[in-house]
Structure 1
Amino acid sequence: MPLKVRCNHREYRQRRSDTVIRSLIPQNERSSSCWTGMMVSLALAAWLLLAPATALLTQAAPTLPAQAWLSYLSDGGETAAEPAARPATTVHSAAGAGSTGSSTVEEMAAQVAYLVNQERAQAGLAPVKLDASLSSAALAHSRDMAENNFFGHTSSNGSSLVNRLISAGYVNWTTGGENIAAGYPTAEEVVAAWMSSPGHRANILNANYREIGVGLHYQPDDQATVRLPDGSVGGPYFYYWTQDFGARYNVYPVVIGGEALSTATSQVTLALLGQGWAQQMQVSNRSDLADAAWESFKATKAWTLLPGNGVRTVYIKLRNAYGQEVLSSDAIVVTGQTEPPTPSPTPSPTPSPTPSPTPSPTPVVNLPAMKVTINNGARFTNQTVVGLDLEIPAAAQKLEASNRADFSTLQRLSLQSQASWQLEGVQSGERTVYVRYRTASGATGPIATASIVYDADPPTGRVTIAANGGWALLLNVQAWDALSGVAAMALGVSADNLTWQPYATTVKYVMPPGYQGAGEPVVFYRFRDQAGNESPVYRSDAPTAAAQRSFVPLATGR
């Protein structure tokens, strides 16, 4: 079986205020008309990469063919496929479901991030930071593909990359993208294959990305039953890779040594990803940055880690021209350091002890923690005024709350278990509330926090009639929401009489009596996101006219 590579992508640009965000939208999540209602722009790169089904783990390791297939989709819907040569490599046997050869799947996934940063460095780009939330989303999708026998960017339950990022806790993002692959047994081979494909390469070398997540799932009993994007069936592939990229508002990471797994020297290079935002920076080996002085921002800095072996962490604080500050850190394992011998101290004469009174110990008071939740623990809201539920210790005499961690602006709350609270700002994104109490003596209790995502933008989408059986219709549904995700949809044959149901991408809709077989059917619909925002009512026969905003295609990748 020849190696297949499939790339479905378009490149878009959306202008918002003075910011230009480049967006890549997966073909399987859009029709010929693309729309947006997103306060935060999303870039989804639908690059699909598929390797040959030749990695039989219980047999002698075969050689991969030296040919790949590339395909693309143009703006006009035209498709084309062409062979592309790639270096011949050898598939290595693996030892057990938790490892591949001498490396675990976790180590191989981390190695991909390091290799990606090597490619970015050669292109003159800053590295990307390995992020736990993105890696969680990537691993879940790799496992989903392997266990549910498919290869694509839409999950087995119909969810998109947007939904996967939100479910993994990756919120407040401004751009994102994804590469997937199957059949490559090593990090080196999968990165080489991605870099040989223009679409995947563009994702890896996208200067807008600051974070990466990588997930590898190894399926030792994989079968030749994998559903492919072109409708055919292939496999077994055994190795399923997902690579998710992103950047978040006000998250500017620091990267040690290009995200290498370890280093044999304490002399490292830091990459600070605050270019264009930060004016000043502090760098320290201490989490409190007590020994750090402010200096002008630099994108790279030579740095000396703490001596010795083990995990070493570097902490940074960035400040922009308006005085806003963000914190970040990165860690690396140091090995091979020789500890200097400790000289024996020279004993000194011991003076005769002078009796002195024993002071009374100062009691240490550990104040009990309080607890705060927003809107009964909801993850999303479309209101700037929310409800706080408070568990207040008996020692509390005063309550203070703030939208800022340093309590530079605060409001006193009454000593009650519930309170209303005004969130700060009007931009969609994550909000955090900080609450603390004071005792009768003035001591301050531990700070309690709770977060919620404020989403003010309604979802948008379209419904098309795929088949008409006279009494029932088969509907194809596509909807998008940048932050909270689409939760529900309402359908009906009248704009004034819609019935809500859970969101699904394929719906069998039974026509009500009187409408069955009565001419060309029209379905009215609207969408609701998890924050409670509802879209306008659209018609299935005029989706383009109903949309208020749309993506404007500028170019296509090849």
Structure 2
Amino acid sequence: MNMEIKRKGLFALAGIATLGWSVCNPAFSAVLAPTQFDQYMLELVNDLRANPQGWANDYLSGDLSEGLAPGTLGTNSRQPLAWHSSLFQSAHGHSKDMLDNDFFGHTGTDGTSPHDRMDNAGYPFTGSWGSGENLAVRGNSTFTGVSTETTKQLVVDLFVDTGIAGRGHRLNLLQDNFENVGISVQFDSAWGGFSSGTLPSVIATQDFAYNSEGPYLTGVAYDDSVVDDDFYTPGEGLSGLDVVIKDLSGNVVGSTTTMDTGGWQLALNSGTYDVYINGQLAGDDVVLESANVKVDYVAAVPLPPAVFLFGGAVLGLAGMRRQGRSE
């Protein structure tokens, strides 16, 4: 069995353009939609942001700042990332470009940078802003497509960041300011980007950004039917559910529907809100301040829906199961 692994990451903050390169194809914008594996990777990233010490216990022998100066990364929760369609377009375009042209790197075939690509795709870099990009790929002669296992392994590879000076991928994953992300996980049956030759390969692009918009309420609706583990698994997403946000006076201040993957997101003003998903109260008196907050809807059978909330901290509601890890 042949296997290869590669990772690359670039990072920028506070109005400084990302020092990486990539490509954008605006023609994709009208037809692209994330896959359940893209959503799964987002859920994994948000899980590690909610519980970085738990991930460090699992994969870094408890040392979140492994490979860095002691204490570089705090164990506090980071705000959950809200999906952004423009960042998905840029991530999808770059993953496709790398697979189509047998290369791996932040420099795309047209020489544009990740920041340019995100900007061209329509992400509004307004006010104070920043952007960053992570890339990861695994090749294995046994791969036949994108899988749940490989998708998670790519996130673990980026988090552990073995052999990467400065652990830049881990820093991107745990950057406090990032509020939006687009992720694209794709497969090629004979990718030629490895020095050893062609291999069936799974590649992922993660495009991160923040700006003066937001904060966001975000989450995912799923039924936990594929793997009963209180966590989103590909194949469990619930599409087309109504999401309605009301203020405490009962006025509707925002609404959307869940994507095909089950994910949803809304930018709102700071305030306290009730969140209704599929006509049911999923989040009661949810306080939205400067950071994003996540509200998940779990259509468990025979149990009632449950919620998983987190912003600066993990929250729960009395009488409902709280979804997430506690370590």
Q: 1:237 deviation in Å?
A: 4.2
The match for 1:291 is 250
Counterpart position of 1:305:
276
Which position in structure 1 is the counterpart of 2:228? none
Q: Distance in 2 between matches of 1:140 and 1:339?
A: 41
Residue aligning to 1:108: 37
| 1:200 aligned partner, one-letter code | H
Write the mapping of 1:40-79 to structure 2, written as runs, cut at 5 A: 40-44=15-19
Whole-Å separation in 2 of the counterparts to 1:263 and 1:206:
30
Pair 336,188 (structure 1): closer, same or farther in 2 beyond 3 Å:
same
In structure 2, C-alpha distance between the alignment counterparts of 1:329 and 1:234, rounded to whole Å: 44
Match of residue 121, structure 1, among 47, 50, 63: 50
Q: Match for residue 118 of structure 2? A: 165
Q: Which amino acid aligns with 1:156?
A: T
1:203 matched to 2:157: no
Alpha-carbon separation, structure 2, partners of 1:233 and 1:135: 30
2:103 aligns with 150
What residue is the counterpart of 1:101 in the other structure?
none
1:128 deviates by 0.8
Q: Are residues 188 and 339 of structure 1, via their aligned partners in 2, closer, same or farther at CA, if it must alter by over 3 Å?
A: closer
Aligned length: 218
Partner AA of 1:262 in structure 2:
Y
- Does the CA-based 8 Å contact 1:308-1:337 persist in structure 2? no
Secondary structure at 2:40's aligned position in 1? helix
Give the equivalent residue in structure 2 for 1:188: 152
Amino acid across the alignment from 1:41: I
Match of 2:94 in 1: 141
1:333 Cα deviation from its structure 2 partner: 5.8
Cα deviation, 1:418-475, whole Å, max 9, x if unaligned, reads xxxxxxxxxxxxxxxxxxxxxxxxxxxxxxxxxxxxxxxxxxxxxxxxxxxxxxxxxx
Match in the other structure for 2:185: 216
1:164 Cα shift? 1.1
Aligned AA for 2:250?
A: D
Q: Distance in 2 between matches of 1:246 and 1:331?
A: 21
In the alignment, residue 291 of structure 1 is paired with which amino acid? G
Query: Cα distance, 1:159 vs. partner?
Result: 1.4
Letter in 1 for 2:244: N
Aligned-partner Cα distance in 2 for 1:113–1:239: 16
- Aligned partners of 1:43, 1:219: CA distance in 2, in Å? 27
Q: 5+ unaligned residues in a row in structure 2: which ranges?
A: 22-32, 53-76, 140-145, 162-166, 225-242, 254-268, 305-327
Residues 285-434 of structure 1 aligned to structure 2 (within 5 Å): 285-286=244-245, 291-292=250-251, 305-306=276-277, 334-336=298-300
CA shift digits 1:117-175 (9 cap, x unpaired) = 11111132111111111111101110111011111111112111122112211122510
Three-state SS of the structure 1 residue aligned to 2:105 is coil
Q: Percent identity?
A: 24
Query: Judging changes above 3 Å, is the alpha-carbon distance between structure 1 residues 330 and 200 closer, same or farther for their aligned structure 2 residues?
Result: closer
Contact 1:134 1:214 in 2 (8 A): yes
Distance 1:105 1:250, change over 3 A: closer
When residues 121 and 8 of structure 1 are mapped into structure 2, their CA distance, relative to the original with a 3 A threshold, is: closer
For residues 480-531 of structure 1, what are the alpha-carbon distances to aligned partners after superposition, in whole Å with 9 as ceiling and x for unaligned?
xxxxxxxxxxxxxxxxxxxxxxxxxxxxxxxxxxxxxxxxxxxxxxxxxxxx
> Per-residue displacement from partner, 1:176-195 (whole Å, max 9, x unpaired)?
00011122652211101111
- C-alpha contact (below 8 Å) 1:120/1:205 kept by paired residues: yes
Partner amino acid for 1:118?
Answer: D
C-alpha contact 1:254 1:316 (8 A) present in aligned 2: no
- How far apart, CA to CA, are the structure 2 residues paired with 1:121 and 1:216? 22
Equivalent position SS for 2:35: helix
TM-score by length of 2: 0.54
Q: CA distance change for structure 1 residues 202 and 165 in 2, over 3 Å: closer, same or farther?
A: same
2:309 is matched with none
Partner of 2:132 in structure 1?
177
Separation in structure 2 between the aligned mates of residue 333 and residue 290 of structure 1, nearest angstrom: 23
Structure 1 residue matching 2:80: 3-state secondary structure? coil
1:235 deviates by 3.4
- The answer to whether structure 1 residue 240 and structure 2 residue 207 are counterparts is no
Using the alignment, how far apart are the partners of 1:293 and 1:160 within structure 2? Answer: 40
Q: Once the two structures are superposed, what CA deviation does each residue of 1:281-335 show, in whole Å capped at 9, x if it has no partner?
A: xxx93479861599x968xx896635668xx899999789xxxxxxx99886653
Give the Å deviation of 1:250: 2.3
CA distance in 1, matches of 2:9, 2:206: 16
Deviation at 1:42, TM superposition (A): 3.0
Decide whether the 8 Å contact of 2:9 with 2:133 is kept in 1. Answer: no
Letter in structure 1 aligned against 2:276: L
Amino acid at match of 2:17: L
Q: Counterpart in 2 of 1:262?
A: 222
The whole-number CA distance in structure 2 between the counterparts of 1:121 and 1:146 is 32
Structure 2 CA distance for aligned equivalents of residues 139 and 218 of structure 1: 12
- Separation in 1, partners of 2:284, 2:97: 35
Q: What CA distance in whole angstroms lies between the structure 2 residues aligned with 1:135 and 1:8?
A: 17
- Inter-partner Cα distance in structure 2 for 1:135 and 1:166: 12
Whichever structure has more strand as a proportion of its residues is: 1
User: CA 1:263/1:242 → structure 2, altered by over 3 Å: closer, same or farther?
Assistant: same
| Alpha-carbon distance in structure 2 between the residues aligned to 1:113 and 1:146 | 21
The one-letter amino acid of 1:207's match is D
Query: By how many angstroms is 1:216 displaced?
Result: 1.5
Question: Which of the pair has more CA radius of gyration?
Answer: 1
Distance 1:307 1:42, change over 3 A: same
> TM-score, normalised on structure 1?
0.33
The CA distance in 1 between the partners of 2:274 and 2:247, in whole Å, is 17
- Report the secondary structure of 1:202's partner residue: helix
Q: Relative to structure 1, is the Cα distance of residues 196 and 289 closer, same or farther in structure 2, using a 3 angstrom cutoff?
A: same
